[in-house]
Amino acid sequence: MVLISTLLNRLMMNLDSLYSELTLKNQAKMALIVLDGVGDIATAQTGYQTPLEAAKTPNLDALCKDSALGRLIPAAPGITPGSGPGHLGLFGYDPLEYQVGRGVIEALGLGLELKPGNVAARANFCSLDEQGIVTDRRAGRIATEVTEELCALLSDNIKKIDDAEVLIRPGKGHRFVVIFRGPGIEGPLTDADPHHEGNPIPMVQPTQPDSEKAKKMAGLITKFYEVALPILKGKTPANGFLMRGIAHQPDIPVFQDRYQMKPACIAVYPMYKGLAQLVGMEKLEGMTNIEEEFQRYLDQYDQYDYFFIHFKTTDMMGEDGDFEGKKKAIEELDSALPILLQKKPDVLTITGDHSTPCPMKGHSWHPQPVLLHSAFSGSDKLDRFTETCANSGSLGILEAKYLIRLMQANAGKFDKFGA
């Protein structure tokens, strides 16, 4: 297995080198709109429709008629990806090769600096019963203001664990970040998160059992819980917390060097800003909804070559199992789309980073639909941007890491290969 993995990595490296050799610089503009978790599945309970199929999307439908459609495998067949691997694949980085902890992504998204000897964890407040069983993994999705108060309480009482400095910073909603700064520590660790209600918070373990630095880090996490949980006791509904993606920052190639394009990130939530920052995108701040995000794209159109635009609500509704809410979120984006189309990029791609089916209330392995529009994409003669139509599209089913290469080709950014 190790030999096969090594050979595949070498093949991908050689292919990346070929793409680099063929890359041309031009003035073409590219935009990637990510409806987080947009993919879904049709079941009897949903009337054999997905939210995309149930939604009224006249603007997506009009765009679809002059586009190519298909499905994307976010990581590998049958593998359910987190948001990190899902987005890295869309950015053209093999998510199996570049594995990044969610804590690192969230910390960068909040504007925090990570240095050697730093380990970051993505955390969220939860509800625990008297026996320490998780009854609500998101504490009722408490407001950001409540999270800020709880983080301040923890920060005031926890400055260090052994020889490691502890930094606690609030994110959006129920989410926050914890950074440990000290000697001789590293990740990755397993999650302090059962991923389902009805179970206690599990103890973390090094994913590489021979790493003494990771063993020390696991001990620090255990001690952190021992100190922090009593501080939250009696708080309602957030009397506990879960920690995921406990890791240090890896080395990763810079987007602008890799693709010869100046990229910008337009996102509301810190985690997705962190993912963009990790590969060297510039974060454009200050938006709160999709209309403002599309308007920022218009305002910055001349300043960048590539725009990553993120929309979160579809994923949130999928995780809640809220079919109607996910349908309305799709309709919200569709109604805002004409703002962006005032300056339609040379290549426009609309997809998700993964599927979040309402019946499953979580991420899944199902390939997400993708729409690619350009002067050279051709028309698949399909009427709607849905999973069913995408199954008939000319793009077929491909790995997400190749999507940006198709976008580059449609933008005229590749020279001919061979004589």
**Distances 399 to 209, 275, 403 between C-alpha atoms, Å:** 31, 19, 7
Distance CA 378, CA 287 (A): 33
CATH number, domain 27-98+252-410, options 3.90.660.20, 2.60.40.420, 3.30.1330.10, 3.40.720.10 = 3.40.720.10
32-86 pLDDT, tens digit per residue, is: 999 999 999 999 988 999 999 999 999 999 999 999 999 999 999 999 998 889 9
User: What pLDDT was estimated at residue 11?
Assistant: 53
Ranges of each domain in the chain: 27-98+252-410, 105-247
105-247 shares the fold of 27-98+252-410: no
332 C-beta neighbours (distance < 10 Å), count: 16
Task: Please state the rounded mean pLDDT for residues 243-262.
Answer: 91
286 C-beta neighbours (distance < 10 Å), count: 7
What is the maximal distance between C-alpha atoms in the chain?
73
The pLDDT confidence band at residue 12, using thresholds 50, 70 and 90, is low
Which has the closest alpha carbon to 354: 42, 144, 79? 79
192-229 pLDDT, tens digit per residue, is: 999 999 999 999 999 988 999 999 999 999 999 999 99
Asked if residues 138 and 316 have their Cβ atoms less than 8 Å apart, the reply is no
User: What pLDDT was estimated at residue 275?
Assistant: 87
Distance CA 311, CA 317 (A): 12
DSSP conformational letter for 38: B
Asked if residues 333 and 309 have their Cβ atoms less than 8 Å apart, the reply is no
226-252 pLDDT, tens digit per residue, is: 999 999 999 999 999 999 999 987 778
DSSP conformational letter for 261: -
Amino acid at 153: L
Length of the chain: 419
382-415 pLDDT, tens digit per residue, is: 999 999 999 999 999 999 999 999 999 999 999 9
Architecture category of domain 105-247 in CATH: 2-Layer Sandwich (3.30)
Is pLDDT at 2 greater than 80 in this prediction?
no
Distance CA 10, CA 4 (A): 10
- Cβ-in-10-Å burial (0-12, 13-18, 19+) of 416 comes to exposed
